[in-house]
Amino acid sequence: MNIRILEGSIRRIDLHTRMPFKYGIATMTHMPQVFVSLRCEIDGRTVEGMSSDLLPPKWFTKIPEKDPLQEIEEMLLVIRNALTLAQGKMGPSAFDLWLELYHAQSKWATTQAFPPLLAHFGTSLVERALIDAVCRGTGKPFAAALHENFFGIRLGDVHAVLTGRQPSDLLPGNPLPSVIARHTVGLTDPLTDGDIPEANRLSDGLPQSLEDCIRTYGLRHFKLKVNGQPASDLARLQAIAAILERTAPSNYAFSLDGNEQFKSIESFRAFWESLQNEPSLTDFLKHLYFIEQPLHRDYALTDAVGVALSNWPDRPPMIIDESDGDITCLPRALSLGYAGTSHKNCKGVFKGIANRCLLRHREHEQPNGGWLMSGEDLCNQGPIALLQDLAVTGALGIESVERNGHHYVAGLSAYPEGVQQLVLAAHPDLYHKTTKGWPSLTIEDGRISLKSINQAPFGNGFILTCSGFTDATRS
């Protein structure tokens, strides 16, 4: 395959949440969504690909005093730079082009003092648009293209231990037909209908409280956020536990998201042991799936953490998320005693594939090692980002996937009628028309169907035009 990246563009639309989303040190009420278009020449044929994502404050960098508007400008800058670096590049495969871009973006980011997690957000958006173009150009859905390695992935170039292995050696032969929606419970989300003041009650037809979400969607998996303040975290977890024991299926499971709120492994261990010593949580804690990124990224991958984890043999399974900034981070985390990492498309698709393969390789070598890759969310929105993210997690065989974009944003209500109709026509199993007339994500019995996603090129079975969106290609 011969690929040449001809040109690209960035479009932007501003979204507003239907209810505040508090995660870690940020509370999100509005944010831009960007769309990256890439025009490529693949074996002499011109093909367009597209990707998309939100620009969320206080995630790619978590600096309390930094103005969120400055963070948005930095996110736009890394996307623009990656697009500039990519234009005109030629290569024999999407993987070769990604790898060249990855190293060039890393070198540039060092001169700007941008951390890898932020820098490669830009890389990932170009990478995803390129993957979309390859899928459309070859007529292959993502999972099939991955299984047949139409992307030219060389796993050993990411993790040397995988040299000579193909993705099909370690990944499922077929994508999952559906995934379990792991519902996010934000730090300020109402837990019961009675927790919602009359002035804050929504009338958009979607559930608002945790108990109403369980009733409406049949939820069975949950992601619970804590803020590193033991007394308030304990009280909130006790309240959530009571609701789940009363309303969720008996086989419910939950993950606990620390959002980097613990400054030391000792403080987190003390918090965890305090939960275990609380009788009201005894049954609840038996449903724990894993704990995500409890420690701040500046500290999480240090030798001191490795020593502390080795001295804590009965620790709960812990994975990294924000610490997974570059291709070296997962092997480092595993060497320290973490159980694995998360996948989000914003951290890179090919990196995520290689990481999943590394963990599957570990499973084969140490079947009882408890190795984990979770699916997590960046408040993913349709009509592009959510579908592409689900396409990847389905192909990787990750069954429990955090989904919160549908909870904090009112479906596709912000998009033109034509876009809404495109999505409904192409993905009738994934979206349904609400009583208000706009499409919202369909979750039934706690699951999200991937049928139409698995049949589409890279998750989305339509061609989106961004006319009417703001041009953000240049500052």
What does the CA dihedral 262, 263, 268, 274 come to, rounded to 10 degrees? -80
Least Cα distance to 258 among 174, 168, 187 occurs for 187
pLDDT in tens, 60-117: 998 888 898 999 999 999 999 999 999 999 999 999 999 999 999 999 999 999 999 9
Q: Tell me whether the CATH fold assigned to 3-159 matches the one assigned to 167-461.
A: no
| pLDDT value of position 57 | 87
Number of other residues whose CB lies within 10 A of the CB of residue 111: 7
DSSP strands (E only) in 24-152: 26-42, 45-54, 90-91
With 90 as the cut, is the pLDDT of residue 25 above it? no
Angle between helices 94-112 and 116-138 (to 10 degrees): 160
Contacts of residue 199, defined as CB under 8 A and 6 or more positions apart, other chains included, come to none
Q: How confident is the model at residue 350 (pLDDT cuts 50, 70, 90)?
A: very high
Q: What single-letter DSSP state applies at residue 180? A: E
Look over the chain and give the mean of its residue pLDDT values, rounded to a whole number. 96
Mean pLDDT of the 232-237 span: 96
Backbone torsions φ then ψ of 342, nearest 5 degrees: -105, 165
Average pLDDT estimate for 386-412: 97
Confidence of residue 7 (pLDDT cuts 50, 70, 90): very high
Q: Evaluate the omega torsion of the peptide bond into residue 383 and state whether it is cis, within 30 degrees of 0.
A: yes
Distance CA 239, CA 235 (A): 6
User: What's the topology of domain 3-159?
Assistant: Enolase-like; domain 1 (3.30.390)
pLDDT at 226: 94
| Distances, alpha carbon 285 to alpha carbons 70, 277, 306, in Å | 40, 11, 24
Mean pLDDT across 305-313: 97
Is the distance from CB of 316 to CB of 348 less than 8 angstroms? no
Map out the domains of the chain as residue ranges. 3-159, 167-461
Q: What is the CA radius of gyration of the chain?
A: 21
**pLDDT above 90: residue 362:** yes
Assess contact for 40 and 3: CB atoms under 8 A. Answer: yes
CA pseudo-torsion sign 331, 333, 334, 336: positive
pLDDT in tens, 410-442: 999 999 999 999 999 999 999 999 999 999 999
Instruction: Quote the tokens at residue 195.
Output: 């927790």
Share of the chain above pLDDT 90, in %: 93
Q: What angle do CA 205, 209, 212 make, to 5 degrees?
A: 65
What distance in Å separates the CA atoms of residue 99 and residue 180, rounded to the nearest whole number?
A: 32
Tokens of 325: 């900034």
**Given 3-state DSSP classes, what are the helix, strand and coil percentages for the chain, each rounded to the nearest 5?**
40, 20, 35
Query: To which H or E segment does residue 224 belong?
Result: strand 221-225
91 bridge partner residues: 3
Inter-axis angle of helices 116-138 and 349-365, nearest 10: 90
How far is it, in rounded angstroms, from Cα 229 to Cα 299?
Answer: 18
One-letter amino acid at 256 equals: L
**pLDDT of amino acid 24:** 76
pLDDT in tens, 447-471: 999 999 999 999 999 999 888 899 9
Answer yes or no: are the C-beta atoms of 8 and 86 closer than 8 Å: yes
Residue type, 3: I
Pick the CATH number of 167-461 from 3.20.20.120, 3.90.1170.30, 3.40.50.880, 3.40.50.720: 3.20.20.120
* Residue 236, pLDDT score: 97
Task: Name residue 149's beta-bridge partners.
Answer: none
Q: Are 107 and 13 in contact (CB under 8 A)?
A: no
CA 445, 462, 347, 77 dihedral sign is negative
pLDDT in tens, 106-163: 999 999 999 999 999 999 999 999 999 999 999 999 999 999 999 999 999 999 999 9
